[in-house]
Amino acid sequence: MTESVQEPWGRVDETGAVFVRTSDGEREVGQYPDGTPEEALAYFERKFADLAGQVGLLEQRVRRGAPAADVAKAVAHLRESVATANAVGDLDSLAKRLEALSGTTKELTEQQQAEQKAALEAAVAERTEIVVAAEQLAAQDPAKTQWKQTSGQLDALFERWQRHQQDGPRLPKNDANELWKRFRAARSTIEQHRKAFFAELDAAHRDVRSRKQALIDRAEALASRGADGVADYRSLLDEWKLAGRAGKKLDDALWAKFKAAGDVLFQAKAEVDARDDEEYRGNLEQKLALLTEAEPLLQATDPAAARNTLGKIQRQWDEIGRVPRDQVRTVEDRLRKIEQHVRSLEDERWQREDPEKKARSEGMLGQLQDAIAKLEAELAAAEASGDKKAVAAAKEALDARRAWLKAVGG
């Protein structure tokens, strides 16, 4: 005798009979004589799983919008199968799921029609959105349009249109034709603007190319002048900067030719400068020696003597002549420092000896001395009278006048 086995939705009794439990009670669904009770339950549970799978597939078909008549027929068939199923599982749950799908064909048709209408409205809205985006691109100012970016955006919109046409619902003919007409018109406008823009740009590039080629010819003609042609080449370079653009690739090629002509001139100038620098090397040594002689003036305090010595040094400096280019700044800065010191000595002397300033100083000095004498008398009188308040005020005023007197050199 076989031991009884039970599960939530069924059991196997001692005789090997398999039962399923439903809300209506328990009923026998069959036997599995050649296996264990566990195997028997598993066999009938698999049959339930197959039935549940059919219900799940039907639910998916309904969600995908399967025809109402087909759905109603499938629901009726499955309801019969579930009611008489020789299977172990939650048959009540399957029956409820079928009940949810068991609306009438008319109700399903109305639902599907509503869904189809909503889907069409959404499809028209999306297709319209694509058209509006294309029309906005077409409305851009061609002169300010970034054509690479705009062309990419238009291609993306067209791909989106094709994808929507393939994967989305079929639009009513009138709507589809009208939207396509608008989209095609926007594409045509963009293409016309693009062609016109690049035609104008090509014309501008040709003009720039001609101007720059003329500058190259003039630059190459300067080669025979060597270093003397550098100044004129720099003027040509200013013209080059104002000539405009001829397109990156062509501009690079033109610039290479123009620069090569300039390199010839600058190389010639570098050779001349190198010869001059060598020639001026002796001048540098003389100026360095002269600076060594002049720099003690940085400690001078007599402006007249310093000015006299500096004048002699400046005359010798000019007579020596030029120094190598890379040393000009160094020696000139050292001389400027000495000149500035001598000038500051002269400025200080002028400040001291300025007649107007001196007169003002002497006038102020006399006034302060008179004020101090008067305040000293007032202080003595206050001290004699014992008026402490008057004494403090007189002392304070007297201290201030004495400080002013000291400041103006009295």
Locate 338 and state its tokens: 């000495």
Residue with tokens 């003690």: 296
pLDDT at 240: 85
Residue 206 confidence class, pLDDT cut points 50, 70, 90: confident
pLDDT digits 0-9 by tens, 256-287: 988 898 888 888 878 777 776 777 788 888 88
Query: Does residue 194 sit in the same domain as residue 137?
Result: yes
Segment 235-263 shows an average pLDDT of 85
Answer whether residue 333 shows pLDDT above 50.
yes
Residue 57 confidence class, pLDDT cut points 50, 70, 90: very high
The strand pairing partners of 11, in sequence order, are: 6, 19
CA 300, 302, 303, 307 torsion: positive or negative?
negative
Answer whether residue 334 shows pLDDT above 80.
yes
> Rounded to whole angstroms, what are the CA distances from 60 to 41, 64, 66, 82, 109?
28, 6, 9, 18, 17
| Angle, vertex CA 156, rays to CA 152 and CA 161, nearest 5 | 150
Query: Does residue 338 sit in the same domain as residue 385?
Result: no
pLDDT at 112: 64
330 vs 109, more confident: 330
Segment 27-36 shows an average pLDDT of 86
Structural domain includes residue 379:
yes
pLDDT at 106: 57
Answer whether residue 409 shows pLDDT above 70.
no
Listed in sequence order, the DSSP H helices in 222-280 are 230-242, 248-279
Structural domain includes residue 276:
no
Structural domain includes residue 161:
yes
Last residue of a domain, one of 153, 171, 200: 200
Do 155 and 168 form a contact (C-beta atoms < 8 A)?
A: no
Amino acid making up residue 300:
A
Structural domain includes residue 10:
yes
pLDDT at 361: 53
Element containing residue 74 per DSSP (H, E): helix 68-83
Last residue of a domain, one of 74, 103, 132: 103
Single out the residue of 391, 306, 311 nearest to residue 349, CA to CA. 306
Answer whether residue 384 shows pLDDT above 50.
yes
Query: Does residue 139 sit in the same domain as residue 191?
Result: yes
Distance CA 132, CA 139 (A): 10
Answer whether residue 38 shows pLDDT above 80.
yes
Segment 301-324 shows an average pLDDT of 86
pLDDT at 204: 75
Answer whether residue 355 shows pLDDT above 70.
no
Do 86 and 47 form a contact (C-beta atoms < 8 A)?
A: yes
Structural domain includes residue 110:
no
Structural domain includes residue 229:
yes
Structural domain includes residue 113:
no
Query: Does residue 127 sit in the same domain as residue 193?
Result: yes
Rounded to the nearest integer, the mean pLDDT of the chain is 83
Percent of the chain with pLDDT strictly greater than 70: 91
pLDDT digits 0-9 by tens, 68-117: 778 888 888 998 999 889 999 999 999 998 888 876 555 666 766 777 77
Query: Does residue 32 sit in the same domain as residue 87?
Result: yes
pLDDT at 88: 93
**Domain span including residue 339:** 281-353
Query: Does residue 49 sit in the same domain as residue 98?
Result: yes
The strand pairing partners of 12, in sequence order, are: 5, 18
Last residue of a domain, one of 141, 173, 200: 200
Query: Does residue 150 sit in the same domain as residue 161?
Result: yes
Segment 358-365 shows an average pLDDT of 57
pLDDT at 1: 39
Structural domain includes residue 109:
no
Query: Does residue 158 sit in the same domain as residue 96?
Result: no
Locate 129 and state its tokens: 């959105």
Residue 391 confidence class, pLDDT cut points 50, 70, 90: confident
pLDDT at 185: 92
Residue with tokens 């639902």: 111
Number of domains in the chain: 5
pLDDT at 44: 92
Query: Does residue 341 sit in the same domain as residue 360?
Result: no
Burial (0-12, 13-18, 19+ Cβ within 10 Å), 339: middle
pLDDT at 18: 92
Residue with tokens 């058209």: 131
Residue 54 confidence class, pLDDT cut points 50, 70, 90: very high
